Amino acid sequence: MKKSKIFTLILVFLVLVGCPGIKDKEPDPVAKDTLQITIVDNKTQQPVADIGAALILDGKTIKKQERSDSSGKILFKDVPEGTGYQALITNAKGYKSTASQELDVPGNPDNAVLIDKIGNGEGSGLIAGSFKDKESKTGISGMNVTVSCVTPKYSKNFSTDERGIFRAEGLLAGKYTVVGRKAGYAPFQKSYGLQDAQALTIETQFLDKAGAAANSVGNYLVSLNGSKKVSEIKKNGDSVWSFSSLGSIESATRTVNGDTFLSDGLEAKVVQTSVKGGSFFFTGLKFPVWVDSIDGTSFLVTDNDLSKIAEFTNNKETWHFSTGLNRPRSAVYLNNGNVLISDTGNKRVVEVSREGKVIWSYTKDLDKPTHAIRFTNGNTLITDAGFSRIVEVDFKGKVVWWYAGPKAQDISIKPKTQSNANALLSVKENLQTNSKKKKSDVDSQKHKTPPKGNESSILDVEAPLEDNGTLLFPRSTIKMTNGNILIVDTGNNRVIEVSRDKRIVNEIKNLPRPVSIEVL
């Protein structure tokens, strides 16, 4: 018994003090780095000195406010490595408070934060925030966010970006209500008091899936021109829903109430489908090729034959733009209230205001741009069907990323000479003017060599093109919440997900001429 008690005491002692030579494992230290940003006037494109910015993460302050130097630069030191940081700018001497795009650490040393001066009737206040899926913790893109106020009178709709972020700028002091809605998620609503020149960042909201559309979250809505239908498919390509009572299909979008709107070029109409069936509306169209909406009430329709962009609210045309357009292929809403247009016939992408003024344009080295979207950081992602590639340009027009396929990465981003273009693929969009026999532009695309004298549109190819080795007439592109790019590779009858380092991480094959895609 005595030996047993001694042995027990020894065991207790060892448990309390630990065995000799054994130490608790210390946690690995968190790597840190310096984050650099440059404050830039959005209109003059010049750096701005003495502007204050704090660093936030999910609405919480990580680094207190620092001031920009004479070159507009701010350095945030000892920032833990990670993603999702934002620079928060407030009280900026005549400029509107704003939140930057999401920043990574370590990241790009040339991070530019664009700031705008306060316009007539505007304030310097800001309300910004983000929405994420409660289960996956990923951003909810394409969510309709309405920010409204009774006094001062204000109401505007925003669409969250690929990381679930929204921001409302130029606000006067008042009590604002923020409402977030997207099919498949529980709605969000909350009111906030905003002071003069205040930058209010809402802590990230994690939303539960809810409602009949919850099972659709994460699926793809794909327009299949070859089979004249729109399908909702899973990431592996399995179809879960489709609608096919169409003359043709050019694009489709899912609204906040779960309805789907489709552009039917051959029948010259936009179709609304729901669980109750289909109904047709929007009159006065000739060949609609793209439809876009933020709030599910107002819709932006691109009419290729009329060379016109028209907005419809309650089935009536409330706004249009056509000045100088030539066969546009798509137009999408921007969160600043402007519209981004792929003006295909003029080989350009333009941003126009509601007053019809061209605010920004890009024309360099494009052949047939068919789709374009704007990121929160001001960059524009352009789908160029003519040169069969995707190009991302910054606000100055500099190419920052591009993709043409795993076997085409030796293609020069700049046009070269006619003598080196024998293997070039281009697009011949023979859109029929005969209304009795119209065809989709995708059906009329052919391989061709550019005519002599058109050296400015040449893309040099060093090796023969092979099936699936390069993109072939891509029609539209979006950025996913994980940062990857989802490409509708129409000519190769597939949809591919491409990482930023240009690797294909997912591929859905054997799709009959896909022309548009949306992540639900």
Cβ contact 73:36 at 8 Å: yes
Band the pLDDT of 114: cuts 50, 70, 90.
confident
Q: Does 501 or 463 have the greater pLDDT score?
A: 501
Q: What share of the chain is helix, strand, coil (3-state, %, to 5)?
A: 10, 45, 50
Q: In this structure, are residues 47 and 71 in contact, taking their beta carbons and an 8 Å threshold? A: yes
What's the mean per-residue pLDDT of the chain?
82
Q: Average pLDDT of 398-405?
A: 90
Instruction: List C-alpha distances in Å: 243 to 158, 221, 239, 368.
Output: 28, 11, 11, 29
Q: What percent of the chain has pLDDT over 90?
A: 53
Q: Looking at this protein, which amino acid is placed at residue 94?
A: G
Given the structure tokens 């027009």, which residue do they identify?
397
Residues 6+ apart with CB under 8 A from 335: 158, 159, 166, 167
- 74 forms bridges with which residues in the sheet? 37
Is 221 strand, coil or helix? strand
Distance from C-alpha of 165 to C-alpha of 88, rounded to nearest angstrom: 13
Q: Would the pLDDT of 309 be above 80?
A: yes
Span 375-383, average pLDDT: 88
Phi, psi of 159 (to 5 degrees): -120, 125
Of the pLDDT bands very low, low, confident and very high (cuts 50, 70, 90), residue 82 is confident
What was the pLDDT predicted at 446? 34
Q: Which residues pair with 112 in a beta bridge?
A: 38
Q: What is the DSSP string of 390-423?
A: EEEE-TTS-EEEEE--TT-TTS-SS---GGG-TT
**Cα(284)–Cα(290) distance, rounded to whole angstroms?**
15
